[in-house]
Amino acid sequence: MKRCISSQELLWCYSCLFPSNIMVITLGVSAMIWCILPFHPVHATIQCTHSNETASPITNLTVNLKELKMTWDSSLNITKYNCTLKTKNIPVEKEVYKKNCIFSRRPIHEGAIFRVEGNYDMISYSSECTFIPEGLSGTSVENFACVIYNVSFMNCTWTPGRNTPEDTQYFLYQKFSKEGERECQDYIKDPHGRHTGCRFQDVVIKGNNVVYFLVNGSSKESKIQFYDEYITLYEIELLTAPTNITVNCTEEPPRCIVEWEPPHRSQRKGNPCFQYNIDIQRKTAMADPAERRDDSPTIVNENTYRFENFNAKKKHFLKIRARGYNCLISENWGEWSETIEFGNEESVSLTIIVLIFILGTVTVALLVLLLSKRYCKMRIFFPPIPQPKNKFSEPAAIDSKIQREFETSSIKYETEEVITTVEEISPFPKAN
C-alpha cells in the first residue's frame, strides 16, 4: 500500500528498502519530510520550482535516490532533454533523447539539485527540485575513510562533527550493490563510548563493486546531519606485501636475480595486473643518505628483477611492495615486505675486527715496554733520596714492633745491672 501526499504536477520518489514508501511533493512548495534513503531515515527539506508562471509541460518528475535516476512525463513533443545533477562537486550534465536519465553514484549529504530542461517552439521549459538535508551545521561525521587490509578485513573510521552535542551517537549502515543492507556489528568506540568507526570481516572484492555507506546520528538536543558516500572496494585495498622473496647472486658476473610471488588477494588476478617497487640499499647507504644515489628504488611490471650493481663485499638490504597496474586493483602502494639481507660484509668485518685487535695489542705492549725502559733509565740518573720515617703516619704494626724492641732492650739493661752488682772486686792484692 502506497503512502502519498497529493500532487498536481511533480512526484518526488525516494527509493528505499521498501518500495511502498513513496513521498510526493507538490510543485512550487516546500515540505518537511522524513526521507528514507536506502536503509535509514533522515530529515530533509524539499523545494520544487518550475521555469515560468504557467504550468510546465514537464510533469511527474520522479527521482530514485538509490540509483540517482530521474524520470518524467511531457505533454509536448520534446525530442531532446538536458538533465543536471548539482552537488558540492562539479555538476554533471547529460543530454538524452528519452524521458529518463541516470547519474553515476554521488553522495548527497551536502544537498543536491535535480533539474530537467527541454526546448519546444523556441521556448525553454524546466523543472527542478532541491534536496536540503536538515540538522545542525557541523554535526555530521568528518574524515570518513575506509581501508581493506589483510585480504578480507575492513575498517571504516570517522571523527565526530565539530558542533556535535555531547550525547550524540553515530550509527553506520552499508549496502553492497546487489546484497542486503546491514548495520555495523563491531563498532570502534572512543573513551566516552561514542562510535568512531566500524570493523568488518570476510570482505570480498568482486570486480568494481561499489558499497554505499551512510552514517546517521541521534541526539536529544538537536537534529544530526547524516553523511553518505559511495566507495569502490578495490580502490581502498591496502595490498599485502609480495611473498616468497628469493635472491640468488653470482660474483662472476657480479649480479643477483630477485624473484617473488604476487600479494595475496580475495580475488586472484594475473601477474600483469601488478607493478612492483623494489628498494635495494647498501649498508653504507642506510647510514649515509648520500650513498643512496646509486641504489635508487626501481619499478618493474614482472615478478623478477636482475640486480646488476652487486658488490659481493658489501651487505645489501632488499624490500618490495606492490600496487595495481591497468586493472581493477588499487593503484596505491601496498605494504613493504620484510627486509631481506644479502652480501658477505659480515665476514669482511670480522677480519677487520681481528686485525684491529691484534694491532691494538701490539701497540699497547710496545708502549708498556718503552715506558718501562724509560723508567729504569731515570732511576739510574736520578736515584731516590731516602726520607726520614714519619712515626705518626706509619701503620700501627710498626709502632707495635718498635714497642717490642724497646721492651726487649729494657729487660737486657736490667739484667746487666744485676750481674754487675753481684761481682766483688778486692781493692788489695792477696799476700803471699
pTM of the complete model: 0.66
Please choose, from the candidates 309, 353, 334, the residue with its C-alpha nearest in 3D space to the C-alpha of residue 150: 334
188-230 confidence digits (pLDDT tens): 999 999 999 999 998 888 888 889 999 999 999 999 999 999 9
- Can you give the pLDDT at residue 394? 53
- Report the C-alpha dihedral over residues 293, 295, 300, 306, rounded to 10 degrees: 140
341-378 confidence digits (pLDDT tens): 988 765 545 677 888 889 889 898 888 888 777 767 66
- Can you give the pLDDT at residue 56? 79
- Can you give the pLDDT at residue 396? 53
**Integer Cα distance of 259 and 284 in angstroms:** 24
Please choose, from the candidates 184, 203, 211, the residue with its C-alpha nearest in 3D space to the C-alpha of residue 105: 211
Of 127-141, 202-216, 276-290, 379-393, which gets the smallest average pLDDT?
A: 379-393
Domain annotation for the chain: domains and CATH numbers: 45-132 (2.60.40.10), 142-235 (2.60.40.10), 243-342 (2.60.40.10)
Q: How many CA atoms lie within 13 A of 100 on its CB side?
A: 8
**Integer Cα distance of 273 and 324 in angstroms:** 6
- Can you give the pLDDT at residue 389? 60
**Integer Cα distance of 71 and 83 in angstroms:** 10
Query: What mean pLDDT comes out for the span 150-160?
Result: 95
Tell me the three cell numbers of residue 96: 538524452
Give 6's pLDDT tier (boundaries 50, 70, 90).
Answer: very low
Q: Is pLDDT at 231 greater than 50 in this prediction?
A: yes
Give 171's pLDDT tier (boundaries 50, 70, 90).
Answer: very high
Give 8's pLDDT tier (boundaries 50, 70, 90).
Answer: very low
Average pLDDT, the chain: 77
9-67 confidence digits (pLDDT tens): 333 333 333 233 333 333 343 444 444 455 556 667 767 676 555 677 888 888 877 77
Alpha-carbon Rg for the chain in angstroms: 48
**Integer Cα distance of 170 and 175 in angstroms:** 17
Please choose, from the candidates 49, 56, 51, 100, the residue with its C-alpha nearest in 3D space to the C-alpha of residue 75: 56
Please choose, from the candidates 200, 230, 214, 212, the residue with its C-alpha nearest in 3D space to the C-alpha of residue 176: 212
Give 75's pLDDT tier (boundaries 50, 70, 90).
Answer: confident
